[in-house]
Structure 1
Amino acid sequence: MRTPFLILLFLASVSCQPKNKSEQKEVAQKETSETQIQTKLSNEQLQQFETAYFASGCFWCVEAIFESVKGVKEVYSGYSGGSEENPTYEEVSYGRTHHAEAVEVYYDPKVISFEKLVKVFFGSHDPTTLNRQGPDRGAQYRSIAFYKNEEERKIIQDYIDLLENENVYGNRSIVTEVTPFEKFYMAEEYHQDYERRNPDNSYIQNVSIPRLNRFKKNFKSYLKEEVH
Structure 2
Amino acid sequence: MKRKLTTLGIASLLLVTTACSQTKTDRTAQMEAQKDIQPVEVPIKNGKARAYFASGCFWCVEAVYESVEGVDESISGYSGGHTKNPTYEASNTGKTGHAEAVEIIYDPEVVSFATLVDVFFGSQNVTQVNGQGPDRGSQYRSIVFYQNDEQKKVIEDKIAALNKELAPDEVAAEVLPFEKFWEGEDYHQNYEKLNPNNPYIRGVSVPRLEKFQEKFPKILKKDAKH
Q: Distance in 2 between matches of 1:12 and 1:104?
A: 29
2:95 matches 1:103? no
- Inter-CA distance 190–136: structure 2 relative to 1 (3 Å threshold): same
Q: Does 1:57 align with 2:56?
A: yes
Alignment of 1:178-197 (within 5 A): 178-197=175-194
Counterpart of 1:13 in structure 2 is 11
Shift of the 46–65 alpha-carbon distance from structure 1 to 2, 3 Å rule, reads farther
Report the counterpart of residue 114 of structure 2 in structure 1: 115
CA distance in 1, matches of 2:75, 2:13: 20
In 1, the alpha carbon distance for the partners of 2:67 and 2:12 equals: 23
Which digits, 9 at most, give the CA deviation of each residue in 1:39-91, with x for residues without a partner? xxxxxx96430000000000000000000000001110000000100000000
Aligned positions of 1:3-42 closer than 5 A: 12-13=10-11
Q: 2: CA distance between counterparts of 1:139 and 1:105?
A: 21
AA matched with 2:201: I
Q: What SS does the aligned partner of 1:119 have? A: helix
The 1-side partners of 2:63 and 2:13 are apart by 17
Q: Distance in 1 between matches of 2:153 and 2:211?
A: 27
Q: Provide the residue aligned with 1:225 in structure 2.
A: 222
- Distance across 1 between alignment mates of 2:130 and 2:186: 25
Amino acid at match of 1:80: S
Counterparts of 1:103 and 1:138, CA distance in 2: 17
Misfit runs of 4+, over 2 Å? 9-17, 45-48
Identify the residue that residue 69 of structure 2 maps to in structure 1.
70
2-structure distance, mates of 1:193, 1:16: 24
**Compared CA separation, residues 131 and 104, structure 1 to 2 (3 A):** same
The number of aligned residues is 192
Superimposed CA distance per residue, residues 117-140 of structure 1 (whole angstroms, 9 cap, x where no aligned partner) = 000000000121110211011000
The one-letter amino acid of 1:156's match is: I
Q: Match of 1:22?
A: none
**CA deviation string 1:185-211 (max 9, x = no partner):** 000000000000000001000000000
| 1:26 corresponding residue in structure 2 | none
3-state SS of 2:152 partner: helix
Aligned residues with identical type, % of pairs: 52
Runs of 5+ consecutive residues of structure 1 not aligned to the other structure = 1-8, 18-44
SS of aligned partner of 2:68: coil
Partner of 1:125: 124
Deviations along 1:10-42, whole A, 9 cap, x unmatched? 65435897xxxxxxxxxxxxxxxxxxxxxxxxx
The amino acid of 1:107's aligned partner reads: Y
Distance across 2 between alignment mates of 1:134 and 1:178: 20
Runs of 5+ consecutive residues of structure 2 not aligned to the other structure: 1-6, 16-43
SS of structure 1 residue aligned to 2:77: strand
Determine if contact 2:127/2:171 at 8 Å carries over to the other structure: yes
Q: CA separation in 2, counterparts of 1:79 and 1:207?
A: 20
Q: 2:13 and 2:161 mapped to 1: Cα distance?
A: 32
Cα distance in 2, alignment partners of residues 129 and 11 from structure 1: 21
For the residues of structure 2 that align with 1:14 and 1:55, how far apart are their CA atoms? 20
**TM-score (structure 1 length as normaliser):** 0.80
- 2:127–2:172 Cα contact (<8 Å) kept: yes
- Greater shift in the superposed pair: 87-96 or 105-114: 87-96
Pairing of 1:152-163 with structure 2 (within 5 A): 152-163=151-162
Let me know the Cα RMSD of the aligned residues: 2.1
